Structure 1
């Protein structure tokens, strides 16, 4: 299932400080993955607009406790995207292997559906 378009390609490229179109396919792939990671973490359907949410509610496809994307959600997606773009591995190995920190959790945790 494709990820909803909560963050545009233009917003993603601005966040990554990328000009031109050479990397567009790679950015689209990572943006889709970042959106899926965020919505999976939230355990809620996220819609770009109130109209999209209303249509999903009417169609009976909105799921439990859906929400319209907030700036916190968009920032979380962009932070995940930046992490996916900058870090090709799960850990950075040097003298000590460390998981990479991310601000995405801070953006997404307050909106996460808990106790399904």
Structure 2
């Protein structure tokens, strides 16, 4: 499933042309992976998919997409900064995040 398209990511950062498409896609893939890992639960495209019995799943929504785009935007703007994380995106995801049991 493509949660955020290349076109959406480029529009978010006002990137014209396709010279950076490889870099943009790499950063976008990393941003999506970061958010999925942070959520720590299966992500479903529709409520119908979730209704199939996964009590730990979450349905993809505007908050999650926004967080993915925020992480992408941060990584695009600050490519050399590999230590810091965009905390605002994690704050958005916190209400959907599943914490591991003890």
Q: 1:13 aligns with which of 10, 32, 45?
A: 10
| CA deviation profile, 1:67-98 (whole Å, cap 9, x unmatched) | 2211110010001001111112136xxxxxxx
Structure 1 gap segments, 5+ residues each = 92-98
How many aligned residue pairs are there?
Answer: 99
Structure 1 segments of 4 or more deviating over 4 A? none
Q: Give TM-score scaled by structure 2 length.
A: 0.81
Structural RMSD (CA)? 2.3
Structure 2 gap segments, 5+ residues each = none
Q: 1:36 aligns with which of 33, 50, 61?
A: 33
Q: 2:39 & 2:73 partners in 1: Cα distance?
A: 19
How far residue 64 of structure 1 moved from its aligned partner, in angstroms, is: 6.1
How far residue 115 of structure 1 moved from its aligned partner, in angstroms, is: 3.7
Q: 1:105 aligns with which of 72, 81, 90?
A: 90
How is 1:1-116 mapped onto 2 (pairs within 5 angstroms)?
Answer: 4-47=1-44, 49-50=45-46, 54=49, 65-87=56-78, 88-90=80-82, 99=84, 102-116=87-101
Q: Which has the higher contact order (CA 8 A, sep 6+)?
A: 2
